[in-house]
Amino acid sequence: MIILYSGFDGLDLALKLNISDEFDTLLAELKTDAAEIDGPVGGDWKGVPFTVQPTGARGGYAYRLDTGPDGEIWFLKRPNKNDPWGARLSAKSAALLCHGLPGWRARVERLAGLFSGVSEPVGVSISRVDVAVDILDPDFVPDDDYFVMHSRTGKKTIGELIETNGVSGRVTSITVGKMPGRQTILYDKREEVMAKSKREWPVIWNKALERRGLPHLNMADPSVSRVWRIETRAGKDHLANRWHVRTWADLSHVLPLMLQAAMEDIRYCAPTADSNRARWPTHPMWAGALTEMVSCVERSIPVLEPADYRLITREERCAVIERQMLGLAVSYAVLHGRPKSEFEDFLRMVPDRLLSISLRHPTSLATRMQRAADRFNGLG
């Protein structure tokens, strides 16, 4: 059992700010442009690049901004002095990987000042926190019967709900609880990484192994590379009502205690012959994750450079597009009645055909490339 990663995986909050009138004017123009093409449009405000979506969000948020692969999603209201809480945002997991919590907080405060035109600190209301630990343990086999809840943790009290998912008779995830309360999840992170081509995670895991003087994971062989994630999520109801967390100071003071309570209230155990499940010992993986979770919040540091993350993501997107292009070329050849023996020759003709179509396209190449750049939002 080797811990490969521990840290924040998500964080949502609201900000007490109104965007400036000048920024509102720019966003309104970009949103109109986005609606015309039914897709994101790129913009820049005081050196901050972002894309604007054609729609906002419920709750009076007129604008939805994406600040890039290692940034966050911003939801912004139009300026209104009678509604001071004019922004909410959700950190992408990569933002916390690349900046750490202190770095990401500083980034948010800087952007809040640029968007509002006000240099003073703004009010904060934290609405969600996710903390995760990744553990290499290929021999581990989860069982939802081994979850034991503390006697003070009634199902009705925190709305506990156990969900188990799996494939081919194998359990791959167990979820206890529901949002916006509290949720604890044990799941096969390697399977998710392989299914969704999240190439950054093997890089992060291998760096952890390098620090221990151990070889890299063989991701092609699950019997030696199975990584399990234990994740605790605290939603708005749990943060505000149970722990009275709203500000950064509240979070810093309470989070270690809150994580410890979550992992002790809902334990994954090593069963014994004892008929009293409450006396079952905590599974070593769970105990290790608890210790790591409580300590990692004190040292939330970047584990991946933003440039490295963007390179990894760009290569992954290129690989996906290449597979799509090949699949389309095969379909194109079939529709043209070409046999397998002529596919290579046919494939060599495709670029000329595409160039001819591009030259006759009603939309300029510059416009089409800009739209593609906006869709990929900082990767190009």
Q: Which pLDDT does position 316 carry in this prediction? A: 92
Output the CA angle 313-103-240, nearest 5 degrees: 105
Q: Which pLDDT does position 299 carry in this prediction? A: 74
Average pLDDT, 10 consecutive residues per value, the chain (380 residues) = 93 96 97 95 95 95 96 97 95 94 94 92 93 95 86 42 67 88 93 92 96 96 96 94 94 93 92 90 94 82 91 92 95 95 94 94 94 86
Q: Which residues pair with 14 in a beta bridge?
A: 88, 125
Q: Which pLDDT does position 162 carry in this prediction? A: 61
Q: Which pLDDT does position 166 carry in this prediction? A: 65
Q: Which pLDDT does position 1 carry in this prediction? A: 84
Q: Which pLDDT does position 122 carry in this prediction? A: 85
Q: Which pLDDT does position 168 carry in this prediction? A: 64
Q: Which pLDDT does position 236 carry in this prediction? A: 93
Which string of DSSP letters, residue by residue, matches 144-179? Answer: GGGEEE-TT--HHHHT--EEEEEETTEEEEEEEE-T
Cα dihedral 270/273/277/278 (nearest 10): -80
8 Å CB contact between 220 and 277: no
Q: Which pLDDT does position 121 carry in this prediction? A: 78
CA distances in angstroms from 327 to 197, 320, 332, listed in the order given: 18, 11, 9
CA-based nearest residue to 178, from 150, 156, 146, 147:
156
Q: Which pLDDT does position 155 carry in this prediction? A: 38
Q: How far apart are CA 188 and CA 62, in angstroms?
A: 38
CA-based nearest residue to 87, from 127, 53, 120:
127
Q: How far apart are CA 244 and CA 250, in angstroms?
A: 8
Q: How far apart are CA 88 and CA 212, in angstroms?
A: 40
